[in-house]
Amino acid sequence: MAYYNEEDLAKFGTMGEEAPELWNKFMAYYGDVFAEGALTAREKSLIALAVATALQCPYCIDSYTNDCLNKGVDEEQMTEAIHVAAAIRGGATLAHGLQMKNIVKKLEF
């Protein structure tokens, strides 16, 4: 059995059933974040896809791939955004490697 079930994406709204007040607050915030502002809704969707891919959330990847396509983003643009996320994630991994180097230096006699 697979952990990821495509059908579950449609059930996202059920996460508010036992905590409707918190769900409503989250959804209001979520809606505000993705509203047009200094960034267009299209740009925000592309950012969301890149972040979703870096975080490896299959539900968000599905959702924002479709959202990007609906907003006129093409596959080349989505791929480039994902490469940006990969570069940042890779760089962050290397930057965190400095913690190892600091520990090694402290322990050297």
For residues 50-65, average pLDDT: 96
Which helix (H) or strand (E) segment holds residue 1: the answer is none
* Orientation of helix 58-70 relative to helix 41-55, angle to 10°: 160
Domain formed by 22-108, architecture:
Up-down Bundle (1.20)
Q: How far is Cα 89 from Cα 53, in angstroms, rounded to an integer?
A: 11
Q: How far is Cα 58 from Cα 52, in angstroms, rounded to an integer?
A: 8
Work out the burial of residue 49: count CB atoms within 10 Å of its CB; fewer than 13 is exposed, 13-18 middle, 19 or more buried: buried
Indicate whether 51 pLDDT > 90. Answer: yes
Indicate whether 1 pLDDT > 80. Answer: no
Domain boundaries, the chain: 22-108
pLDDT tens across 10-31, in order?
Answer: 899 999 999 999 999 999 999 9
73 φ/ψ angles, rounded to the nearest 5 degrees: -80, 135
Mean of all residue pLDDT scores within the chain: 95
Indicate whether 109 pLDDT > 90. Answer: no
Q: How far is Cα 49 from Cα 68, in angstroms, rounded to an integer?
A: 8
For residues 70-94, average pLDDT: 97
